[in-house]
Amino acid sequence: MKRYFFSLTLGVFFILIGCKNSSNEVVVYSTVDQVFSEPILRDFEEETGIKVRAVFDTEETKSTGVINRLIAEKDNAQCDLFWSGDPLRNVVLQSKGITSPNQSEQTDLIPGHFREKENHWTGFSARARVLIYNKNRISPDSLPRSILELTHPRYKGQFTIANPLFGTTTFHIAALFTVLGNTTAEQWMEELKKNHVVIATSNGDVKKRVMNGELAFGLTDTDDAFEAKKESSDVDYIFLDQQPGGMGTLIMPNALSMMKDSPNTENGKKLMDYLLSRETETKLAISCAQMPLIKGTEVPEVVPSLDHIIPMKIDYIQTSENLEQIQLWLKKWVEE
Amino acid sequence: MGGGVTRQIARFVPAVLLALLLLGPLLALLVRWLTSADKVSLLAVINTGTLLLVGKSLLLSGIVAVLASIIGTICGFLLYRLKFLFRGFYKILLLLPLLVPPYIFAVAWKDGFQWLFGINSAINPEIGMIIVHSLVLFPLAMLITGTALSQIHSGLEEAGLMRVSFRRMLTKIILPLIRPALTISFLLILIISLSDFSVPAFFGVNTFTTEIFTQFSAFYNHQLAISQSFLLVLLCLMLLLSENKYLSDAPFFSVHVKGSSTKHYSVRKGKTILHILLWILLVVVLVLPIVMLFHQALSGREILFSRAWELLSPTIFQSAKLAFLGALLISATGLWVAYLKERSRFPHLNTMLLLTFIIPSTVLGVAVIKFYNQPATNFIYTTILILLITYVARFGFIAARIIGNGIKQIPGSLEEVARVIGIPPVKRFFSISIPLLLPSLFTAFVLSFVLCLGELGATIMIYPPGTELMPAKIFTIGANAPLALTSSMTLISFGVTMFFILAFFLIGKIIFNRFRYE
């Protein structure tokens, strides 16, 4: 009886472990919020019959997951396609020799400014940096119009930004260093500190602190701002530096990279083409107000158009290189 | 002679295999680091800034360990040595904070604090971290000291009480007798607090662990992060070596204390005060966070429980299946390792499990990826086997100590008699040891199940593509989802964990009644 019991236990154990991977599949690692990326991957699965095996993660919560995993898997790639929320991560992977170039009819639809010149990454649907504010704490007329005005004494201790070592805030600060130059940008950040900026743990934390009225305003991404507006009528947002001749606001496209020596390269390319389509951009516009990069894509009225926003004029590669140089300084700034 | 060799092979080959599976990744990482051209040496890591940070981290975690040990020891004494109504109820509920990721409690307490005292009552980050860690970790001290208190023979206390007052007996007899348990509680809590990343990061406290994670996740500087991790591991090992003997014999807790006659003190006066104090503690550590999560879940513009259920329900079966398999494997490994240690005087595997237990989860994750992500071991890396191996590495030590404690309580004479009358070893093991160990095995299984169900640190780094697991999904969806949705998902996850604990409790009752020896 006991032997039967143990044989049964062992049998159940191995049956439960057993799982067979299909050959008609694609493996995608994504740092885009799962709540938005997963439905699109499911649609691809239904439309093509190719099974999508995904690993989701998010840079916003300082996870060490996907990027470190891709770096650790360099010598035996498991992932076919990397879908990032911004191109910065793709540039890191490219610099480590993990990505492979991929060009197709779909990649050619994307404006050259949002692509790496050798097609190691291709951008699509973009978010922008915005200022989110609580209407009960500050009137729209009193808001700063430029990011440089955050150092004004009247805003002392009233605003927040996410930790600049992580997530899209890293990208934003690196872009400011690129546009302003290191000396001016460092001086501006020192003044932010003197003006008692509150360093939140993530953009989500910025949203939460502004929504609950703990702080009057903060810098975050358009998708967070849209979520906040859905959750609370006390919250609204504005684009900064939109005056004629202004510095503009940072535009952050999603970015796709094919992995070098990936196990399902062809399916990876099919998924990449699927994502680089008007249909996908429309879906992302509806679900999280992302702004399409392909001309003529249909979007809901509430989604701002890139045609009406003054973008910050930066080179994404140069910004990434800049980031590497300023990271230690940023770390000191955070810890001071 | 031939039989002896076969026995030695049968004993050592599985031991070497287990060591290869669990220790292999860490040794490979160490070798890779030592031979790397761009290696960052330990000496290069040690500088004034690092030493100050290590000192600050030790100070904060030391305060946590002292507070948690004091609260835990007091609770251990009240719940394990006093006789009063609902003792079991308090014991189970006060254990729950240990089974929920600390980050969830950090969010709930911070919001609860603001909710109760207003948004301007911001809590000092260091104090916030100390409070959260102390309240989450004190149940560990309660378990360990409670078990130690249950093992003190009543004769010692009664003899003491004949000559001296209760207070003097407490300080001169009981406290010295449970000193090993107090030391273990202190050290384990110190180490767990020292290697936790989530709570200090949430409160914005810069500790040595957040520094390591920054190097990993912001700078992708694996070499420096690994060097710093080795420094952290060395630090933990130094702390552990000082009390190695006690720690490798850590009681954790026993389900039954067979053959002992523990003295239980009746509470004549102050019953009401006792209940009030325990309820205050329950409210702070459990009720307030849960109420906060409900408040957050219901305060959105719409109720999102059904959406949360829709997102989480596909993960529940997979998570439960994985936790079940993990718990099965951990309990089997724990039984084997504990048996080798207690009966065959072979403690090396137990020491190995102790080592893998103290390694920070991210370091373990990177080590496991680098070791198993080879074409030859793809069958491990691309399936849930990778998670099962990691779970054994993370929680095997706890199971081994719970079961080891059970083995210690089985008189050796029982097996000796069976051997003398010619019962073969396998039959002796299954007919004598296993039935007597059932309560410990069951407890190890349930605890391992709950720990596997909630494990996040390593899981998120290594889960095979396409696998959907509850903690990973809450973590990734929670990043940008409305607070009401995240809180709803957390509550569902909490409810699922409670469901399994309750189910196991009922199953345990049936099993123990069936196997009870009157």
Q: Answer whether A9 sits within 8 Å of B385, measured CB to CB.
A: no
A178: Cβ contacts below 8 Å, ≥ 6 apart = A314, A315, A318, A319, A322
CA B324 vs. chain centroid, Å, equals: 17
Burial code of B397-421, b = ≥16 C-beta within 10 A, e = fewer? bbbbbbbbbbbbbbeeeebeebeee
Q: Is-contact B64 B134, C-beta < 8 A?
A: yes
Q: Please check the confidence at residue B506 and state whether its pLDDT lies above 90.
A: no
Q: Answer whether B466 sits within 8 Å of A53, measured CB to CB.
A: yes
The structure tokens listed for A170 are: 């890293």
Phi and psi of B218, rounded to 5°? Answer: -95, -40
Phi and psi of B341, rounded to 5°? Answer: -75, -45
Q: Which has more confidence, A213 or B202?
A: A213
H helices of B196-304, in order, are 198-203, 208-217, 222-242, 244-248, 271-282, 288-298
Q: Is-contact B90 B278, C-beta < 8 A?
A: yes
Is B373 at the interface with chain A, CB within 8 A? yes
Determine the Cα–Cα distance for residues A107 and A102; give it in Å rounded to an integer. Answer: 8
Query: SS3 of B422, please?
Result: coil
Q: Which of residues 55-114 of B touch A (CB under 8 A)?
A: 114
Is A197 at the interface with chain B, CB within 8 A? no
Pick from A246, A323, A274, A311: nearest CA to A111: A311
Determine the Cα–Cα distance for residues B160 and B156; give it in Å rounded to an integer. Answer: 6
Determine the Cα–Cα distance for residues A228 and A327; give it in Å rounded to an integer. Answer: 30
Q: Please check the confidence at residue B388 and state whether its pLDDT lies above 50.
A: yes
pLDDT value for B200 = 86
Mean pLDDT of chain B: 83
Is A45 at the interface with chain B, CB within 8 A? no
pLDDT value for B348 = 85
- Model ipTM value: 0.75
Burial code of B472-497, b = ≥16 C-beta within 10 A, e = fewer? bbbbbbbbbbbbbbbbbbbbbbbebb
Other Cβ atoms closer than 10 A to B144: 29
Phi and psi of A231, rounded to 5°? Answer: -85, -30
The lowest-confidence range among A139-143, B174-178, B299-303 is B299-303
Determine the Cα–Cα distance for residues B428 and A2; give it in Å rounded to an integer. Answer: 13
Determine the Cα–Cα distance for residues B458 and B25; give it in Å rounded to an integer. Answer: 13
Residue with tokens 């989530």: B198
Q: Answer whether B476 sits within 8 Å of A33, measured CB to CB.
A: yes
Burial code of B160-193, b = ≥16 C-beta within 10 A, e = fewer? beeeeeeeebeeebbeebbebbbbbbbbbbbbbb
pLDDT value for A328 = 87
Chain B CA closest to residue A53: B466
Determine the Cα–Cα distance for residues B191 and B65; give it in Å rounded to an integer. Answer: 9
Task: Pick the residue of B336, B476, B487 with the most A CBs within 10 A to test the interface with A by mutation.
Answer: B476
- pLDDT per position as a tens digit, B125-154: 899 899 999 999 999 899 888 888 887 888
Q: Please check the confidence at residue B479 and state whether its pLDDT lies above 80.
A: no
- pLDDT per position as a tens digit, B319-363: 999 999 999 999 999 999 998 888 888 888 888 998 888 787 777
Mean pLDDT value of segment B208-213: 82
Residues of A in contact with B466 (CB under 8 A): 27, 51-54
Query: Which of A28, A231, A335 has the CB atom closest to B300's CB atom?
Result: A231
Is A52 at the interface with chain B, CB within 8 A? yes
Q: How many residues does chain B have?
A: 518
The structure tokens listed for B249 are: 């014999």
Q: Answer whether A73 sits within 8 Å of B476, measured CB to CB.
A: no
Q: Which has more confidence, A46 or B246?
A: A46
- DSSP assigned state of A31: -
pLDDT value for A314 = 87
- pLDDT per position as a tens digit, A31-85: 888 888 999 999 999 999 999 999 987 655 555 568 888 988 888 999 999 999 8
> Could you read off the pLDDT tens digit of each residue along chain A, which spans 336 residues?
555 555 666 666 555 555 555 679 999 999 888 888 999 999 999 999 999 999 987 655 555 568 888 988 888 999 999 999 889 889 989 999 999 999 998 889 999 889 999 999 999 999 999 999 999 999 999 999 999 999 999 999 999 999 898 888 989 999 999 999 999 999 999 999 999 999 988 888 899 899 989 899 999 999 889 989 988 899 999 999 999 988 999 999 999 999 999 999 999 999 999 999 999 999 999 998 999 999 888 888 888 888 889 999 888 888 888 888 898 899 899 887
Chain A CA closest to residue B298: A231
Sign of CA dihedral B242, B246, B249, B251: negative
Q: Which of residues 304-333 of A touch B (CB under 8 A)?
A: 327, 331
Percentage, residues of chain B above pLDDT 90: 21
Q: What is the DSSP string of A54-83?
A: EEE--GGGT--SHHHHHHHTGGG---SEEE
Residues of A in contact with B369 (CB under 8 A): 69, 72-73
Phi and psi of A181, rounded to 5°? Answer: 90, 150
Percentage, residues of chain B above pLDDT 70: 91
pLDDT value for B330 = 96
Task: For strands A25-30 and A81-84, give the pairing.
Answer: parallel
Task: Pick the residue of A26, A32, A35, A90 with the most B CBs within 10 A to test the interface with B by mutation.
Answer: A35
Q: Is-contact B233 B220, C-beta < 8 A?
A: no
Residue B462: pLDDT band with limits 50, 70, 90? confident
Task: For strands A159-162 and A198-200, give the pairing.
Answer: parallel
Is A95 at the interface with chain B, CB within 8 A? no
Is B426 at the interface with chain A, CB within 8 A? no
**Closest Cα in chain A, distance from residue B462 (Å):** 8
B428: Cβ contacts below 8 Å, ≥ 6 apart = B415, B418, B419
Q: How far is CA B327 from CA A40, A291, B333, B395, B453, in A?
A: 35, 47, 10, 9, 9
**Closest Cα in chain B, distance from residue A68 (Å):** 7
Determine the Cα–Cα distance for residues A292 and B475; give it in Å rounded to an integer. Answer: 28
Task: Pick the residue of B480, B485, B489, B515 with the most A CBs within 10 A to test the interface with A by mutation.
Answer: B480
Residues of B in contact with A92 (CB under 8 A): 220
Mean pLDDT value of segment B77-99: 87
**Closest Cα in chain B, distance from residue A58 (Å):** 6
Query: SS3 of B44, please?
Result: helix
Burial code of A127-165, b = ≥16 C-beta within 10 A, e = fewer? bbbbbbbbeeebeeeebbeebbebbeeebeebbbbbbbb
Query: Which of A21, A68, A231 has the CB atom closest to B216's CB atom?
Result: A68
**Closest Cα in chain A, distance from residue B328 (Å):** 8
- Tell me the helices (H) and strands (E) count for chain A, helix number first: 12, 10
Q: What is the largest CA-CA distance in chain A?
A: 84
Is A23 at the interface with chain B, CB within 8 A? no
Q: How far is CA B447 from CA A146, B93, B456, in A?
A: 54, 14, 16
The structure tokens listed for A262 are: 């990936």
pLDDT value for B3 = 63
Residues of B in contact with A323 (CB under 8 A): none
Determine the Cα–Cα distance for residues A280 and B59; give it in Å rounded to an integer. Answer: 51
Other Cβ atoms closer than 10 A to B514: 8
Q: Is-contact B202 A201, C-beta < 8 A?
A: yes
**Closest Cα in chain B, distance from residue A66 (Å):** 7
Is A170 at the interface with chain B, CB within 8 A? yes
B407: Cβ contacts below 8 Å, ≥ 6 apart = B338, B339, B342, B343, B433, B437, B440
Chain B CA closest to residue A42: B466
- Tell me the helices (H) and strands (E) count for chain B, helix number first: 27, 2
Query: Which of B216, B328, B475 has the CB atom closest to A64's CB atom?
Result: B216
Q: Is-contact B515 B438, C-beta < 8 A?
A: yes
The structure tokens listed for B190 are: 């110190």
- pLDDT per position as a tens digit, B100-134: 777 778 878 777 777 777 655 567 889 989 999 99
Q: Is-contact B251 B147, C-beta < 8 A?
A: yes
**Closest Cα in chain B, distance from residue A277 (Å):** 24
Query: Which of B201, B214, B369 has the CB atom closest to A72's CB atom?
Result: B369
Residues of A in contact with B123 (CB under 8 A): none
pLDDT value for B518 = 45
Residue B261: pLDDT band with limits 50, 70, 90? low
Is A17 at the interface with chain B, CB within 8 A? yes
pLDDT value for A17 = 57
Q: How far is CA B29 from CA B217, B228, B385, B392, in A?
A: 18, 13, 20, 18
A161 bridge partner residues: A199
Q: At what angle do helices B271-282 and B87-95 cross, to 10 degrees?
A: 20
Instruction: Give pTM, 2 decimals.
Output: 0.81
Is B170 at the interface with chain A, CB within 8 A? no
Mean pLDDT value of segment B168-196: 86
Is A2 at the interface with chain B, CB within 8 A? yes
Q: Please check the confidence at residue B248 and state whether its pLDDT lies above 60.
A: no
Residues of A in contact with B460 (CB under 8 A): 57, 63, 65
Determine the Cα–Cα distance for residues A147 and A159; give it in Å rounded to an integer. Answer: 12
- A-B interface: how many C-beta pairs under 8 angstroms? 148
- DSSP E strand stretches across A111-232: 122-134, 159-162, 198-200, 217-221
Torsion of CA A293, A294, A299, A301, to 10 degrees: 60
pLDDT value for B296 = 82
Other Cβ atoms closer than 10 A to B269: 7
